[in-house]
Chain A
Amino acid sequence: MIKKIFTAVFLFLFTTAAQAEIVVIGNLKNNLQSLNSIQVEDIFMGRTRSLPNGRIALPIDQSALRSEFYQKLVSRPIEQINAYWARVIFTGQVSPPTLLADDNAVITIVNENKDAIGYIDRKNLDNRVRILLILN
């Protein structure tokens, strides 16, 4: 019995530690070199639409990492984020980030779009995009 509990705790710690390291990525052609977490939050939560350099940002969500990303960014479960967007969308003033399927789709869009900002698992990172922020 005690063994079982230990095993469970060990597995839990292992899986947490095994979570992916998420990086926020941007287009190489954009002169934006990096963002802090507040700037990233403002952009993804729809508080601002412009980047620090004045360009209109295009935030990209992805289904695979979405829950983990927001947990790391604003320390809130994904249900609250959804609820937030549900209220904000209702006013018709702002739209949530475009939702894509996985890291590849995000990398592709960011590569193609100068103002796009997305996030991916660091292990899938390649040189087509620039790292703006690393989330732990």
Chain B
Amino acid sequence: MKVFFGKNLYFKLVSYVFLAAVVFISIATFVFFRIEIDHANDKARTMINQLIDTIETTAQIAVYANNTQIANDVLDGLLHNDVVHKIVITSDKGFSLEKKKDEQVQEQKEIIRELLSPFGDKKSIGQLSIVPNSDFSLQEARYSAFSNAVNAFILTVLTLLFMLAVIRSLFSEPLLRISNTLHNISAGEQERIEPLENNKNDELGRLVVSINKILDLLNTKLSTQQVLRKRVEAAEKKLRNIFVSTSAGLFLLDKDGHVLTCTPTLLKILGFQDASLVSINGQHFATLFFKEPTQFQQMMQNALELEQLEAQDLMLHDGIGISPLWAHCLLSKIVDAAGIIRFEGVIFDISKRVATEKAIRYEANHDALTGLLRRNAAELQLRKHLASENSAATIVLLLDLDGFKKANDTYGHDVGDVVLVQTARRLEACVRHNDIVCRLGGDEFLIILFNCSAVKIGFGIAETIIASIKTPIEIDRRVKVSIGVSIGIALFPVHGDSVESLLKSADEAMYEVKRNGKNGYGMRGKSGAISVNRPSA
């Protein structure tokens, strides 16, 4: 039963109805019993009254004639009735008779009938009182209620059985058929439920039509979706190709800077030879690649706070090659629909550009021939140095080669160039590591000596230079070029507190050397006169 109860709708339905019916029948029986008891009590009283009607004349005669024998007969006769429990006949003329049944019952209210004289003036001559038997009413009511309940129960059960059969054949079986067919249909197939012969126009018939419609719709949708999916796949493939083959190094980071995804190009830029074999997902981007991770972290911080595109050139970690690797990095914050913060960025390889820029800057600051600093760059450095705190004891040497013009005219520009280059190397060799040697142009040079605690150091260097330049320069076996140098010296801040004044003072000293025979060095003295020293003379 339990199996059916759970399995079949109609058994469930009928079981519920049955339970409900049992409850209703119980309630109805109880109520009916209460009503029926009252009814039975009424009925008992009616019956007793009718009984009294029947024997009234005899009772009247018995009382009238004072005849206990007749009275006893009457009492016995009445007591045979189930409905009677106790009878009392009382005569006004003296006698009183009482009879009752043995069984103990609840005392009911007695029914009293005045006995009138059968003759003459109809006055009352006695009383007949009957106590009804309450058991009788109770049994009547019980029987009545019970038979009612049995009736209702039998009718209910019969109706339910009939319902069971009807529901089963009208609903459950067609539904089961539909359900079984549906069970065997898989999505996208052309199969349909056959229309039910007996239910064409009712709910079940409509259900079948609706299900078939849905199946049709499903079919259409599925095929549409298949087409769409193929299109999406094609589009995705294209996009993936673009993603894989793009020359931009794209990357996506989470909020903390861990790599979520990146293009293979990025890995190439970052120095991995075989991009397909490496996965950097989940690793910390900044420390993984950049020489100074804090720079990148600062970019992230800025992008997070300022909500703008951050752009910066960054040096990469992997500087194994000769030239350092540089990357231009663009970084911006993105917030998706769910509120999750990520960073997206692009990295371009700019190592070549940086190298080029460096070269350009070098060319701008250095003399192309000798590799020495140009005038502008040197003056800039000097100016900076003079403005700084340790500017004291700076010595400026202004040099002008002697005999260079002649050598140039004699042996040609190529030789002149060799002389200049050679001179530059010798000058560099004469100064200390931190000092600056600069070509002002033509055959003029400028040397800046820093931190010369004594003027003598400057003089010493000047003398070393003069000696060094005096050594002939060997162009080839046949040609040797001899030149000299005139050096004007100026001290900071004695001879000037600016670049211009220092250079002017040095220039004047230098010309004084030239006038005094060259190949020496000169400096303005305390008196204002320029003293010239020619060590070789």
Contacts and interface: CB of A to CB of B under 8 A. Distances in A.
Given A75-B120, A84-B61, A87-B61, A47 B93 contact: yes
26 contacts: A38-B120, A41-B119, A47-B65, A47-B93, A73-B120, A74-B119, A75-B120, A76-B119, A80-B118, A80-B119, A81-B119, A84-B61, A84-B65, A84-B118, A87-B61, A87-B70, A88-B61, A88-B65, A91-B67, A91-B69, A91-B70, A92-B69, A93-B67, A93-B69, A94-B65, A94-B67
A58 interface: no
Interface in A17-76: 38, 41, 45-47, 73-76
A41 B120 contact: yes
A75 B122 CA distance: 11
Contacts of B70: 87-88, 91
A47 B65 CA distance: 5
B207 to A, nearest CB: 86
B529 to A, nearest CB: 196
Contacts of A87: 58, 61, 70
Contacts of A46: 65
Interface of B: 58, 61, 64-67, 69-70, 93, 118-120
Contacts of A38: 120
Nearest to B119: A74
Contacts of B66: 47
B76 to A, nearest CB: 13
Nearest to A37: B120
B335 to A, nearest CB: 121
Given A87-B58, A87-B61, A88-B61, A75 B67 contact: no
B64 A74 contact: no
Contacts of A88: 61, 65, 67, 70
Given A47-B66, A84-B119, 8 more contacts: A41-B119, A73-B120, A74-B119, A74-B120, A76-B118, A87-B61, A88-B70, A91-B70
* In the A-B complex, the 7 residue pairs with the closest CB atoms: A74-B119, A91-B69, A74-B120, A88-B65, A76-B119, A91-B67, A87-B61
Nearest to B73: A91
Contacts of A92: 69
B369 to A, nearest CB: 178
A45 B119 contact: yes
A41 B58 CA distance: 19
B58 A45 contact: no
Contacts of A80: 118-119
A12 to B, nearest CB: 25
A80 to B, nearest CB: 8
A93 B118 CA distance: 19
Most buried by B among A47, A81, A92, A94: A47
A6 B64 CA distance: 43
A53 to B, nearest CB: 19
A47 B64 contact: yes
Contacts of B67: 88, 91, 93-94
A76 B66 CA distance: 20
A45 B64 contact: yes
A38 B123 CA distance: 12
B418 to A, nearest CB: 186
A47 B58 CA distance: 15
A94 B65 CA distance: 9
Contacts of A75: 119-120
A46 B69 CA distance: 14
Contacts of A94: 65, 67
A38 B119 CA distance: 11
A35 to B, nearest CB: 15
A91 B72 CA distance: 11
A47 B117 CA distance: 12
Contacts of B65: 45-47, 84, 88, 94
